Amino acid sequence: MTNIRQVVLLILDGWGYAPAWGGNAISVANCINYGKLWKEYPHTTLCASGECVGLPGHERGNSEVGHLNIGAGRIVRQDSGLISEAIKNGSFYGNAGLIDAIVHAQKRNSNLHLMGLASEGNIHSNISHLYALLELCKQQKFERVYLHLFSDGRDTDPMAAVTIISHLQDQIKKVGIGKIATICGRYYGMDRDNHWERTSRVFNAIALGTGEVADTTLKAITQSYNKGITDEFIVPTVIVNNNKPVVTAKNGDSLIFFNFRSDRARQISMAFMAEKMPYFDRKLKLEHFYFVGFIPYGYEEELKLKLQSAFTQEEIPESLGETLAKNNLKQFHLAETEKYAHVTYFFNGGTEKPFPDEDRVLIPSPRVASYDNKPEMSINEVCKHACKAINSNKYNFIVINFANPDMVGHTGSFNAAISACEIVDKKLEEVVKACLKANSILLLTADHGNIEQMVNPKTGEPDTEHTKNPVPFILIGDKTTLVENLNVRNDGILADISPTVLELLSLNQPKDMTGKTLITKI
């Protein structure tokens, strides 16, 4: 194998591998370049879900998990599993961070708020964790408990909220603890793209009691459905009793945020806890307010304080980024806003700060209501910066994320998904040409599946969720000098990508990195 100076990793976010059929946007679209690469270069598929990425065996993969496993070069046990295990073994009910939130409210004769995504998707939250919080409050004999819920419709069926909330209300009745005070779609409650006008509406509903109103949570959901608004987009709605909010958050209260994924938890956390709020006109700064997240959410520089977290995340030493830095190699991380945290924080094993000689470029995602309105997103700018970095001969490793397949796939719009696949295919050609010209190796892969199944094969309805499908992996380079004697094996997982990068760069694999190179010699 000729000495390789630059390896480029291009992650097509949400681009799974599945047989061609009418619901597969990739096979329906005219993806000439992708098909050509698959035929002409060494290729395989990688397991990107379940136990292969540290999730329970039946769970779909997702972007956070995918990038964590890719960058770590090992199977990373996920926070969701750690929390579920704590519930199972009983340690959850003695968790100091959670109990401190209750004690804080007890001492002040104030309220406890439980905020998060009411979902069975297990991507950002798990409804069973909310059930456990209600049980914890019962054990602590604390009854002033109010729920502020985000409906999903993205990692679940678009209209699953009625069933989920009905089951939750049954649990509330059974435990005898909790009242639902607000509900909104995750579009508002979990924005990560600096649409602060969305975040402000959620904060105002919870802290000020302003927004749409409904007598019951189920009425809030059904009145949205009657307007053609599905779960993800339910407008922040305050539940009222005799035309007054059930509750609003006040000074001295406590709040437990039960989401276990950080990227979409940050903005709403900042809305509550930042000393100053430069992004919207916050009418109220809550004082002596105890805020605890299930995990660390980041944003510590912006907040100027460290938020409490109930659970600590597994440390990931010797990630790919750290290993490259220790070997004095230069690296470049590139994505648009929607996936920027994934190629930086998650890819680097939960490390916020760049490693030495690590450059980053963030391309703003377009400010549109939904990406089916602009399926190209910001791929033109991402591709332009990618090719510039490749051609600069400055970097030994470059990681790029094309967000379109995942973000457009989540809209459920089949036509938009086809457009997204075709623009990705077009820009893929540009990246390949730049790599071949620079005599670089390009590793083409994905983090999980999504856009290859836009239609539920059982119901025929639009499918907005991730899939359990494997993802492609293609080794691309000059056929006469770089990849002429190389092949790839067929039993790989995402954790095998970093060891592959290290082998291509002739670097030793650190002992904590337990993945195995995908390269085989012919």
Does 272 have pLDDT greater than 90? yes
Chain centroid to CA 9: 19
The rounded distance, in Å, linking the Cα atoms of 362 and 409 is 22
What does the pLDDT read at residue 304? Answer: 61
Indicate which residue of 49, 63, 84, 151 is catalytic.
63
Structural domain that includes position 92: 80-309
Nearest to 432 by CA among 43, 31, 33: 33
Same-domain pairing of 213 and 99: yes
Residue 177 CB: number of other CB atoms within 10 A?
23
Q: Do 54 and 346 meet the contact criterion of CB atoms below 8 Å apart? A: no
Find the CATH number of the domain harbouring 248: 3.40.1450.10
Same-domain pairing of 265 and 121: yes
Radius of gyration over every alpha carbon of the chain, rounded to an integer in angstroms: 23
Percent of the chain with pLDDT over 90: 89
For residue 54, tell me if it sits in a domain.
Answer: yes
Same-domain pairing of 284 and 360: no
Same-domain pairing of 24 and 105: no
| 262 labeled part of a ligand binding site | yes
Same-domain pairing of 66 and 170: no
Find the CATH number of the domain harbouring 336: 3.40.720.10
Same-domain pairing of 444 and 517: yes
Question: Residue 299 — pLDDT band, cuts 50, 70, 90?
Answer: low
Domain boundary among 294, 309, 324: 309
Total domains in the fold of the chain: 2
Q: What is the mean pLDDT of residues 337-354?
A: 94
Chain centroid to CA 265: 10
For residue 370, tell me if it sits in a domain.
Answer: yes
Same-domain pairing of 329 and 388: yes
For residue 400, tell me if it sits in a domain.
Answer: no
Q: Which of 16-20, 107-111, 275-279 has the lowest mean pLDDT?
A: 275-279
Domain boundary among 247, 281, 309: 309
Does 88 have pLDDT greater than 90? yes
Tokens of 143: 């009854």
Same-domain pairing of 498 and 424: yes
| 108 labeled part of a ligand binding site | no
Tell me 492's DSSP state: E
Look up the pTM and report it: 0.83
Q: Which long-range contacts (CB under 8 A, 24 or more apart) does 17-22 make?
A: 17/45, 17/449, 17/452, 17/469, 17/470, 17/471, 17/472, 18/449, 18/452, 18/453, 18/467, 18/469, 21/457, 22/455
For residue 212, tell me if it sits in a domain.
Answer: yes
| 104 labeled part of a ligand binding site | no
What does the pLDDT read at residue 300? Answer: 65
Does 63 participate in catalysis according to the annotation?
yes
Tokens of 238: 């305050």
For residue 2, tell me if it sits in a domain.
Answer: no
Same-domain pairing of 288 and 319: no
| 263 labeled part of a ligand binding site | yes
Could you give the 3-state DSSP secondary structure of residue 380?
helix
For residue 409, tell me if it sits in a domain.
Answer: yes
Same-domain pairing of 350 and 269: no
- Class of residue 244 by CB neighbours under 10 A (exposed 0-12, middle 13-18, buried 19+): exposed
What does the pLDDT read at residue 307? Answer: 81
Same-domain pairing of 72 and 84: no
Q: Do 239 and 245 meet the contact criterion of CB atoms below 8 Å apart? A: yes
Nearest to 130 by CA among 94, 158, 169, 183: 169
| 339 labeled part of a ligand binding site | yes
| 124 labeled part of a ligand binding site | yes
For residue 1, tell me if it sits in a domain.
Answer: no
Domain boundary among 265, 289, 309: 309
Same-domain pairing of 194 and 335: no
Nearest to 415 by CA among 462, 448, 368, 479: 462
Q: Do 239 and 215 meet the contact criterion of CB atoms below 8 Å apart? A: yes
What is the average pLDDT value for the chain, to the nearest integer? 95
